[in-house]
Structure 1
Amino acid sequence: MVLFILRRLGQALIAIFGVMTLVFFIQRLTGDPTYLLVPETATQADIEAMRRSLGLDQPIIVQYMSFLRDIAQFDFGRSYVQRIPVTTIIASRLPYTLQLAGGALLVSFGLGVPLGVVMALWRDRPATKLLTGFVFASQSMPTFWSGILFILFFAVWLGWLPPSGAGGIENLILPSFALGLLSMATFARVTRTAMLDELSKDYVRSARARGVATPRLFWRHLARNAAIPVISVAALEISQLLAGAVIVETVFAWPGLGLLTVQSIVSRDFLVVQGIVLIGAFVTIALNFTADILYSVVDPRIRLDGSRP
């Protein structure tokens, strides 16, 4: 167990190091930010003084080592525009994104998995075919389009929910459904496929021949055996929820990291964008690391060294 965790942790650290290196050099390829920070009337001496204050006059390897040291201390620098630490800006917006991601995950997982189970266990019923059509329709709509439709129908026409902004739970409902609808369809399809695969196996036919009821068969065998693909998708879909938040937060004017990313790109506040990208990468790697650990917990056939007996 310890060896397995250490190996996965080492792979995660290598991935994090690669992401930090990539982000550093891509930022340098965007150009010299000094000209964005000085007034139009600045002299060449003013520009050079600003460049020295940012450390951009040093050799690239020195800048790179300083960058790695700062990131290791969770120091993402100071915003070019707001002139305050990037960590302070991100910390003020992060709770809103976590609320939205949590609501979207509740929609996607809480609806998608039960729908997938129903679509597999009662696949020949007419109502199930309607659910299948709903799932495929949900997966065909991009998040910005479903968000606009939700605003038009539930906020403008019916007036049931506010169209934008943060506030109470009513402000969270529409963006959560807009962000979670696509992942809900993915969870439903993967769960349905995994369940159908398990239902076709010999142990299921033997259990049914012995008169085992469907609910007991599901809770005792099917749910656990079909969980591996769902766990794999969950790690990826949570990452997709964080990425999709950029669009949804912009559509609903939700003050989270997604909207902050768009605002920072427009204002060329590159250090803020860099901090958000790095945090997103850390979260994605952490989720995949957690999924690797859960595999061996859910399915005992998977050895901790990654091989099968």
Structure 2
Amino acid sequence: MSVFLLQRLGQALVAIFGVMTLVFFIQRLTGDPTYLLVPETATQADIEAMRRTLGLDQPLVVQYANYLWDMLRFDFGTSYVQNVPVIDIIASRLPYTLQLAAGALFVAFVIGLPVGLALALWREKTAAKLLMGVVLGAQSMPTFWSGILMIMVFGVWLGWLPPSGSGSFAHMIMPSIALGLLSMATYARIARSALLDEMSKDYVRSARARGVGTGRLVRKHLIRNSLIPVISISALEISQLLAGAVIVETVFAWPGLGQLTVQSVQSRDFVVVQGIVLLGALVTISVNLLADILYSVVDPRIRKGGRA
């Protein structure tokens, strides 16, 4: 087990280093932010002084070495635009994104998994066909479109929910549904496929021949044996939620990291963007590492084979 964990941890560290390197060099290709930070009347001397202040006058190799050293000390630097430590800016926005992600995961799990179970158990019934139509519709609808549609119907026409902003539980409902809708559909389809695959195996037929009821069979065997594909897709879906948060937070004017990312890119605030990207990469890699560990718990054969 320890060798398995060390292998996965080493892969995670390599991935984090790769993301840090990509973020640094890609951002330098977007242009020099100095011209956005000085007044229009600034002279060339003023521009050069600003570049020295930001450390952009140094060779790229030196900038990269300083950047890596700062990251190792968890020093994300100071915002070019707001002149505030990046860690403070992220900390002020992170709770909003965590609330939104929690709501979206709740929608995805609490609705998606039972729907997938129903689709598998009732596969020959009309209700299952209707549910599959709803699932396919949810999976085909772009996140920004579902968000705008909900704003028009529930926020503007019916007036049941606030159309944008934050501050109460009611503000969370539509953004959480919009962000979690696609994941809900994905969980439903993956759970359905995994359960149908398990139901076709010999041990299920043997259990049924011995008189084991469907409910007990599902609780004792089918759900546990279907967990691996669900765990696998969970790691990917959490990453998708982070990416989708950019769109959802923009549509609903939700003051989280997604909205901050858009604002920082527009103002070329390099250090804020790199801080957000690195945080997202760290969360994604950590979730995948956790998924690998859960694989080994659910199926010990993976741990013994040293692969996932």
User: What's the TM-score once normalised by structure 2's chain length?
Assistant: 0.97
In the alignment, which residue of structure 2 is the partner of 1:259?
Answer: 259
Q: Which amino acid aligns with 2:138?
A: S
Whether 1:72 aligns to 2:79 is no
2:96 corresponds to = 96
Deviation track 1:243-288 (CA, whole Å, cap 9, x = no partner) reads: 1000001111110011111111222222211111111111111110
1:182 corresponds to 2:182: yes
Q: Letter of the aligned partner of 1:274 in structure 2?
A: Q
What is the CA distance between 1:306 and its match in structure 2?
Answer: 2.1
Residue matched to 1:3: 3
Q: Which moved more, 1:117-126 or 1:49-58?
A: 49-58
* Post-superposition CA distance 1:132-167 (Å, at most 9, x none): 100000001011100111111111122111111101
The 1-side partners of 2:63 and 2:227 are apart by 46
What is the match of residue 170 of structure 2? 170
1:63 positional shift: 0.9
Report how far residue 302 of structure 1 moved.
2.1
Given that 2:180 and 2:241 are in contact with CA atoms closer than 8 Å, whether structure 1 keeps it comes out as yes
8 Å contact kept, 1:224–1:299: no
Residue 50 (structure 1) aligns with: 50
**Structure 1 unmatched ranges of 5 or more:** none
For 1:305 and 1:293, the matched residues in 2 are separated by 13
1:277 paired residue number: 277
Which runs of structure 2 are paired with 1:1-309 in the superposition (5 Å)?
A: 1-307=1-307
Q: Between Structure 1 and Structure 2, how many residues are aligned?
A: 308
Return the alpha-carbon distance in structure 1 between the equivalents of residues 276 and 147 of structure 2.
23
Instruction: Tell me which moved more, 150-159 or 89-98.
Output: 150-159
Shift of 1:307: 4.7
- 1:176-227 deviations in Å (ceiling 9; x for gaps): 0010000000000000000000000000000001110011101111011100
Q: CA deviation at 1:2?
A: 1.1
d(CA) in 2 for partners of 1:40 and 1:193? 60
CA contact (8 A) 1:8 1:289 kept: yes
Q: Residue type of the partner of 1:68? A: L
SS in 1 for 2:301: coil
Q: Contact 1:3 / 1:305 at 8 angstroms: preserved in 2? A: no
Q: Is the 8 A contact 2:107 2:180 kept in 1?
A: yes
Aligned-partner Cα distance in 2 for 1:32–1:219: 59
The CA distance in 1 between the partners of 2:33 and 2:73, in whole Å, is: 23
Give the conservation status (yes or no) of the 8 Å contact 2:36–2:267.
no
Shift of 1:300: 2.5
**Partner Cα separation in structure 1 for residue 61 and residue 304 of structure 2:** 39
What letter is aligned with 1:4? F
Distance 2:186 2:224 in 1: 19
CA distance in 2, matches of 1:259, 1:297: 37
Contact 2:4 2:303 in 1 (8 A): no
Shift of 1:304: 4.1
Q: Which moved more, 1:260-269 or 1:288-297?
A: 260-269
C-alpha displacement of 1:305 = 4.5
Q: What SS is found at the alignment partner of 1:301?
A: helix
Give the partner amino acid of 1:65.
A
**Hey, what's the Cα distance between the residues in 1 that align with 2:208 and 2:305?**
35
* Aligned counterparts of 1:10 and 1:168: Cα–Cα separation in 2: 42
